[in-house]
Amino acid sequence: MKNHFIFAWTLLAAVIVLLLVMFGMTWYEENQLSSQDDVITEHQLALAQFKADMHLEIQPVRGDREAPVQIVEFGDYKSPYSKEWEEQVYPKLAKDYIEPGHAAYYFLHNPLPDMDSHLAARTAEYLMDQDEKLFWRFHTLMYKKEGFLQYRWGTEAFLIDLVRVYFPEVDIQSFIQLYQRENVLSMVLKDQEAAKKYGVEYNPTIFVNGKQAEDSSYESLRRLIDKELLLSRK
């Protein structure tokens, strides 16, 4: 009888322990899922705020605007470092992430404090207002024709001649009259305000889903992009 009593209590204790273990595992899994949901929600909220701050809905874009990764470059058409990034790093990003639909790329102006940079940025925005394809044609062309940093080469005469020769679909007289108007300038100023808000100090500065890259190298950006892609799939 005593042995039966001991066996019954042992069995009951084992059942209780098993139930406690099962309850503990369920509680842990639910809390893990809840924690992941909180992280994803915070990530989504932060990304939405970043998009709003950068006015990405009206910015020129390469790739799918709905891509899970949003790459933003602050650059300048007179910066040799922006030129180097456009010619050496961007093609790798385009091949690996933008063309397959994993990422979208935006260019925002962070002009140097001289007239060349500002006139070039305004020209780009005027063309963007006409047709986004014209913006990207100008973007590529400006880096190909970039002069020396220490000289004034992006003059008004240079830009007018550039538009006349390479953009025959644009009415040159309208361009001359309008490209320095307030509505065009306001787009450049919005970019500059965003750059100031996010502490941009040099060109190019790259952000990936609102996170500033340590540097503009392909390797640094690849690590950051892959991390964001992994987070977007959870």
Residue owning tokens 């502490």: 199
- Percentage of the chain lying above the pLDDT 70 cut: 80
Residue 172 in contact with residue 164, Cβ under 8 Å? yes
Phi, psi of 160 (to 5 degrees): -65, -45
Q: What residues make up the domain containing 16?
A: 1-54
Residue 227 in contact with residue 209, Cβ under 8 Å? no
16 and 115 together in one domain? no
In this predicted model, what pLDDT tens digit does every residue of 144-161 receive, in sequence order? 987 655 556 778 999 999
Above 80 in pLDDT, residue 37?
no
41 and 137 together in one domain? no
197 and 174 together in one domain? yes
Rounded to whole angstroms, how far apart are CA atoms 210 and 69?
10
Residue 76 in contact with residue 82, Cβ under 8 Å? yes
The total number of structural domains in the chain stands at 2
Question: What mean pLDDT do residues 1-15 have?
Answer: 46
**CATH label of the domain that carries residue 163:** 3.40.30.10
Above 80 in pLDDT, residue 143?
yes
The CB density around residue 62, as the number of other CB atoms within 10 Å, is 18
The CB density around residue 67, as the number of other CB atoms within 10 Å, is 19
Above 60 in pLDDT, residue 168?
yes
Above 50 in pLDDT, residue 210?
yes
Question: What mean pLDDT do residues 164-188 have?
Answer: 89
What is the edge-to-edge ordering of all strands in the sheet holding 205-208? 61-62, 103-109, 69-75, 205-208, 211-212
103 and 46 together in one domain? no
88 and 201 together in one domain? yes
Question: What mean pLDDT do residues 75-92 have?
Answer: 95
